[in-house]
Amino acid sequence: MQMKLWIVLIVVLASCNPVSPSVVPTNTLQSVSPAASATNPMTPIVVASLQDLRQAVNEITNAQPEQAQAKADVLYQTLAASKRIPVVFGQQVVFLYKGNAQSVTWQGVFNGWGDRPGITGGRIGQTDLWIAQTEMPPASRFEYKITLNDKEWILDPANCRVQGHRTQKSPETSYTLLLSRHIRTSD
C-alpha cells in the first residue's frame, strides 16, 4: 500500500496541471503513526488538521539539521502532491515555500499587491522550507505571488491553480487561492 502511494505521489508531482480548484479532502493522505513518522523521515506526514500541521512543523524545528531537512522535504512533497498548497483549514490559510531565500513574503490582492505589508514567512528551523499563516474571509478567492528577498516576484511553484488575470501591480499571471468548494477559477 505504501509503495503504491509513493508512486501516485510521484506521478502527481510530475504532472502539475491546472485543475478545477476544489479543496482536496484531508483524508486523502495516508495515515501514519507518530512513532513511525519520528523514526523514518521518508514516511508521509499526515496533515488532517491545523494541529497536525503545527505538530509536523514542531518536529521539523526540533530535529537535527539533516533529519529536519528530510522531514521538511516530505511534508512539502506530500502537500504539493495532493495539491494542498496553500493549506486551507476553514478560514486559516497556511502558505509554504521551499527554496533558498533570505526572506519570503506573500503578496496579492489582500495587500494591494505590495501597497501594504504582505504576509511574512518564517523559515522552519534550519531547513529551506518557509511558512506563513493568516486568516482569510470564508468563500473567498485571492490572487497572490511570492516575493523572495524583497525583490523577486515568483509564481507559487506548488500551486497549480493559475488565474490569467493581470493587474497594474501584477502584470504576469498569478495564482489563485480559493477558500470555498463552491467557487471555481472561472467564476
Q: How far apart are CA 68 and CA 182, in angstroms?
A: 37
Q: 115, exposed or middle or buried, with CB in 10 Å at 0-12, 13-18, 19+?
A: exposed
Residue 102, pLDDT > 80, answer yes
In angstroms, rounded to a whole number, what is the distance separating the alpha carbons of residues 40 and 168?
47
| pLDDT of 31 over the 70 cut | no
Q: What is the mean pLDDT of residues 160-180?
A: 61
* 97 compared with 114, residue with greater pLDDT: 97
Is the predicted pLDDT of residue 17 greater than 80, yes or no? no
171-182: b (≥16 Cβ within 10 Å) or e = eeebbbbbbbee
Residue 14 exposed, middle or buried by CB count within 10 Å (0-12, 13-18, 19+): exposed
For residues 143-155, average pLDDT: 92
Q: Does the pLDDT value for residue 160 go beyond 70?
A: yes
* CATH no., domain 1-9+24-187: 2.60.40.10
pTM for the structure as a whole? 0.71
Q: Domains of the chain: which residue ranges? A: 1-9+24-187
C-alpha cell at 104: 519570503
Residue 5 near residue 44, CB atoms below 8 Å? yes
Task: With both helix axes pointing from N to C terminus, report the angle between 2-14 and 65-81 in degrees, rounded to the nearest 10.
Answer: 70
Stretch among 33-47, 63-77, 96-110 having the lowest mean pLDDT: 33-47
Q: Which of 1-5, 36-40, 43-47, 82-86 has the highest mean pLDDT?
A: 82-86
